[in-house]
Chain A
């Protein structure tokens, strides 16, 4: 997915967000653009966004921290989201999540030591009629059992 490049410069950050400045309500699209580019929202973006949008830095920071999507640190090369919501629970999602985290030796939001994968909780992927479901780098997989999970983990290089 994203390589762990050096921290982006102010100029690079401006290059990503400035084209979006004319939108009505541009902050979320800008944050998504930053995360799409670097895999997280770099700290250095806060003063730049505050300047472009004429907001306080604390305000920008407050918005970033409100939303579960925005990461403030780089993630692993792949993102595995495991659904924790009710429909998936009814089909064994709790056990699936527990055994997966245990296999990887990490907790929620953790990254494997080799940097291959970060595991995040998600509350519903709209796959509730083929639960339990997970998402790997934006691709959904349904009716996930241990065997299917092992294949997924092998594919992402664990």
Chain B
């Protein structure tokens, strides 16, 4: 009997290890021959630990399993959710990037290859560099790290640069609250990232890659390091990638707790062993990146999506989506929400559908007040904007941003003044210190919001001015976009900023 208990860290945070231990113990006591697989997660964090039993009818799921339910589970007495693939929340998705996540054993390269893995890389090995770049361009893939820059154009710049050494750097700093897609794919299907980086290397002529992975993710670091080692042993990485005579190898590096190091030039400085301050652009990292050499910097999801584009063809990918947002978006539904997790779907679903229909509304059962989309630099979207479709341009038009596609839901008890204050405080703590509007402005922002909280109505226009200054005078989006959460909170939830005097009137 084959039983799956996710080894994903969110599943473990909800007790999956204890369930796995109990299963192993109980199976042994009963003399049962149980093969326990620690798969990744299917993304349904709300059902974790989600145990799956392999049967002739398919994989049968059991949600929120506790160790004391294990005997019943083995007796077949526990209520099941039926086939995992038929669970509505799962069945409604279009899983391209996450097709294997939660399905396979993350560190079993044969399992990977048996489920569509390496098909893309083999195809890329038969193509020229410019054909590879062209395929990515044709897929319409845009960077999933936040800025949504077309990946093909970035690759083309690096491909056309002449240099003795080029690099592929994967941005796995994932510092945005409300996001965990990078962590999940690394823990659940690490070979997809490795394969994507290898294809990128072939495309642009880079033989070396780095993954800059945040230190807050020890499980992901451990799994990716093991996967790299296995990939090297099996000839997927190294001087002779899959026997092609072409070289590509990579290393995993650990971040050190600085949010700003997710910004690509700060990341490169950090990778070089420097303070993680932001570099002025130009020069673009594509031309002068890591150690001054042409460098592709891409987010984990961007790179992990590359294999499926090559497996199924650029057109297949581009056929999904809305407007200029092609393919799928890996939504991360988080915060005060009933059914949170990773939901991959074509761009185009509305914000309201995601929060209410998929997410099931708040966990507390109270009305939704606001949803912060796109991390700590993203706007707080009020319920009145719930008809906004998930798409880069569509969100931009509503004063928001999709960013890394994390959604944090808040119920009506949220104090939006406090959230605005937090945005400023976070910017002050995480500022790299290079520009005054960010470094000093964020500190002033906290003080100004405190004045508003104490009833000083005159401080409201000051806050608005300060946000303008930060927007205009900051080198990167940390200082430049912190005004989004602050101003959206102020604009859409003025009652939370109503001064004491006004309240008394």
Contacts and interface: CB of A to CB of B under 8 A. Distances in A.
Given A127-B180, A129-B10, A130-B13, A28 B334 contact: no
Contact of B253 (A28, A91, A126, A142): A28
A87 interface: yes
Scoring B13, B183, B333 by chain A CB atoms within 10 A of each residue's CB, the highest score goes to B13
A142 B10 contact: yes
B176 A31 contact: no
Contact of B273 (A53, A90, A135): A53
B274 A86 contact: no
Contact of A86 (B12, B337, B419): B419
B411 interface: yes
A91 B259 CA distance: 22
Contact of B333 (A24, A86, A129, A143): A129
Scoring B45, B216, B275 by chain A CB atoms within 10 A of each residue's CB, the highest score goes to B216
Interface string B403-447: 000101111001000010010001000100000000000000000
B243 to A, nearest CB: 27
Contact of B216 (A24, A31, A89, A135): A135
B201 interface: no
Contacts of A42: none
B212 to A, nearest CB: 9
A125 interface: yes
A27 B337 CA distance: 41
Interface string A7-45: 000000000000000011111110110000000000000
A6 interface: no
B13 A86 contact: no
Interface residues of B, number: 62
Contacts of A63: 273-275
Contact of B218 (A27, A123, A133, A138): A138
A89 B258 CA distance: 20
B376 interface: yes
Contacts of A133: 13
A124 interface: yes
Contacts of A26: 273
A128 B406 contact: yes
Interface in B197-241: 215-219
Interface in A98-146: 122-131, 133, 135, 138-143
Scoring B177, B257, B276, B419 by chain A CB atoms within 10 A of each residue's CB, the highest score goes to B177
Interface string B310-345: 000000000000000000000011111100111000
A28 B13 contact: no
B408 A86 contact: yes
A25 B273 contact: yes
Instruction: Identify the 8 closest CB pairs spanning chains A and B, nearest first.
Output: A27-B273, A129-B340, A128-B334, A85-B177, A142-B13, A67-B256, A68-B257, A129-B45
Given A68-B256, A124-B176, 6 more contacts: A25-B290, A66-B276, A86-B335, A127-B180, A128-B177, A133-B13
13 contacts: A28-B256, A29-B253, A32-B215, A85-B426, A89-B419, A123-B426, A124-B175, A125-B217, A129-B180, A129-B340, A140-B10, A140-B12, A142-B13
Interface of A: 23-29, 31-32, 53, 62-63, 66-70, 81, 85-91, 122-131, 133, 135, 138-143
